[in-house]
Structure 1
Amino acid sequence: MEHTDVAVIGGGQSGLATAHALLRRGLRPVVLEASSTTAGSWPRYYDSLTLFSPARYSSLPGMPFPGADRDRYPHRDEVVDYLAAYAGRLDAEIRTGCRVTAVRRTGGGFEVELGGVGKLSARAVVAASGSFGRPHRPALPGFEEFAGQVLHSADYRSTAPFADRRVVVVGAGNSAVQIAAELAKTARVTLATREPVKFAAQRILGRDLHFWLTRTRLDTAPLGRLLPRPPAQPVLDDGRYRAALAAGRPERRPLFTGTQGAKISWPGGEREEVDVVVLATGYRPDLPYLAHLDGALDAAGRPRHREGIATGVPGLAFVGLEWQRSLSSNSLRGVGRDADRIARRLAAGFRETTGSGRS
């Protein structure tokens, strides 16, 4: 059976940053990516998506985000190109079209099953597959029998299919507000939320918010210990989205109370027919391949870890989890810090058992 130091599962931003960090510490990773590209979930995000952080704060270790304007907010396709270029510069084995179906414990480490096309043994495993493959669809009041069209924001691409339709977007985060405001240009849209939308200024005293997060070190503070559950994050706004909601484009309402057929019931008793409901309700870690590892996941499929190190499975680690260690843990600007920390811990473990690896 083929053997490697570390099997890195996922070839998006988290997996690439992890491979870079492992190589710096003298370990030879194999990156296993289920899709055909090394851009993670970015190619599948909606067409108009732009980063919330400027280019100067949107780089992986060792390669600045390209472009002369360091203060611009890069488009989705720029990120795809950047990640492909980053992968091309890595001196690591990256296998695309290689889906991991199971990871099992063996006496000397792990056995990684590769979708019916073979197996790989590894001394350590880093789960860096993100969450895009597991869209969260929460239980909503009376929603089980809704007869209209339902899709998750993971399936949304552009406004074209929704022109002149009645649409309800559920969610209060950045994606929910962005999608609802975009759809409101061509459709009749309501943003349905449990609580009022909270906004944070994109720029403060002439500087992007990320400048201040970096300057105050809030971006890197180990808040994951203090906030085990991700809090509701405010919508970053330069004023456009707050103005759109104030103008009713989209309108904002409290979450509906039930459905009957294709009709939705609003608080207060009003009922109306709705064509489409878009669930912009986030994602959960996508880790089904760890189901055979006792202690790796809890009953809800969430990873058991402390700042990315699995608490019950020696040699297993995670990179790219939301609030893994800080508020930037699952972002381009922050994932490299967590990846380096994980690589350092794995290399230390290797030295303890074999005397190999470098610091």
Structure 2
Amino acid sequence: MGGGQSGLAAARALLNTGLTPVVLEAGEQTAGSWPSYYDSLTLFSPARHSTLGAMPFPGSDDGEGDRYPHRDEVVAYLTRYADRLRADGADIRTRTRVCAVESDGSGGFVAATADGRRLRTRGVVAASGSFANPHLPRLPGQESFTGRLSHVADYRNPAPYIGRRVIVVGAGNSAVQVGYELAQVAAVTLATRAPVAFLPQRVRGHDIHHWLAATGFDDLPPEWLAAMLGATLVLDEGRYQNALSSEAMRRRPMFTAFTPEGVIWADGTHEPTDAVIFATGYRPNLDYLRPLGALDTDGAPRHAGGISTTHPGLVYVGLEFQRSFASNTLRGVTRDAEYVTGPLAAHVRNAPAALFGP
């Protein structure tokens, strides 16, 4: 389920095992959420560290390997990747939204689509990402706020905010990048629960992603990372820190409530504002697995490293911190796809029966 980078990586891994994958993508193109990201988005990783599987990202092997590709380059890259998969035998179907996955009662599954079809399968790869499920907190007075309230998933460019008073909520890369862009045309305040933690984009002459790979950091399990990191880190070459230091973009501790005209800050002061943008992350978009009983009470998948702990034959690709720091990135998703498709292929081929008999 899903035809973005995670679904395409899984399709390649399945082809490599000798299986023919059927990729079901709800959108009109095989680029996942990338076409919907904001207009100015560039990758956090340089071209040479943004390759999906064995198909190099354009320019990654020449003098342009250290540049940071634009959103539209990623869309074009994923589209070409899907075309290659089709040529190798993958069945990729766009405009096919999966509404529910159920057990077929005999070790397989039935996927029900929005157009009324029911597809039987021995195995399921849930690779639907999280962009379609943005997390929007609820705060006192939120319903009464008369300004513009949105999630960063809906942000495209600064045009609607020119000359406005804007609060961006969040301390991650998207919050800081969007806040910085808006600060060129608007009065921007970054609302966070703790000071923004920055990570240098370049260290000792190399992009940080070089060191993430060279030191083995990308191999650290999420259980260790949770204790090591402690906070969300924002990649920065210096301009974001400078903007905060110079108050070209302010930062204040998170506000506690909305009023019809604005917000109430933690110190009790009221500030009028025209717009609030929540850059507060996303949750896995997996509601179609609820009928199966594969999710916990919060809608999170029950899994170990991307392999379902509730249903043999169900695996996940593209979950944040699924197996490592890089799990839901172009550079990391292929390793996770290869990890989960081995056991999946064994299930599809009914390996236990082949070994021990029916």
SS of 2:171's equivalent in the other structure is coil
1:270 is displaced (CA, Å) by 2.2
User: Map of 1:94-243 to 2, 5 A cutoff?
Assistant: 94-108=92-106, 109-224=108-223, 227=226, 232-243=231-242
Q: Does 1:56 align with 2:48?
A: yes
Q: TM-score if structure 1 supplies the norm length?
A: 0.93
Is the 1:167–1:274 contact (alpha carbons within 8 Å) kept by the matching residues of 2? yes
- In structure 1, runs of 5+ residues without a counterpart are 1-8
Q: 1:29 aligns to what?
A: 21
User: Map of 1:239-278 to 2, 5 A cutoff?
Assistant: 239-278=238-277
Rounded Cα–Cα distance in structure 1 between residues aligned with 2:159 and 2:314: 44
CA offsets, 1:262-291, max 9 Å, x none?
221123332121100000001000011101
What do you get for the CA RMSD once the two structures are aligned? 1.8
Q: 1:300 aligns to what?
A: 298
Q: Which moved more, 1:268-277 or 1:170-179?
A: 268-277
Question: Percent identity of the aligned residues?
Answer: 57
1:142 is displaced (CA, Å) by 4.4
User: Map of 1:330-341 to 2, 5 A cutoff?
Assistant: 330-341=328-339
SS of 1:272's equivalent in the other structure is strand
Q: TM-score if structure 2 supplies the norm length?
A: 0.93
1:353 is displaced (CA, Å) by 4.1
Rounded Cα–Cα distance in structure 2 between residues aligned with 1:80 and 1:231: 32
Q: Which moved more, 1:260-269 or 1:114-123?
A: 260-269
Q: 1:74 aligns to what?
A: 69
Q: 1:5 aligns to what?
A: none
Q: 1:323 aligns to what?
A: 321
SS of 2:217's equivalent in the other structure is coil
1:171 is displaced (CA, Å) by 0.2
77, 80, 84: which one pairs with 2:79?
Answer: 84
CA offsets, 1:309-344, max 9 Å, x none?
111111111100000000100000000000000111
Q: Which moved more, 1:146-155 or 1:193-202?
A: 146-155
Q: Does 1:18 align with 2:10?
A: yes
SS of 1:98's equivalent in the other structure is coil
Is the 1:14–1:319 contact (alpha carbons within 8 Å) kept by the matching residues of 2? yes
Rounded Cα–Cα distance in structure 2 between residues aligned with 1:133 and 1:333: 22
Rounded Cα–Cα distance in structure 2 between residues aligned with 1:286 and 1:76: 21
- In structure 2, runs of 5+ residues without a counterpart are none
1:352 is displaced (CA, Å) by 1.1
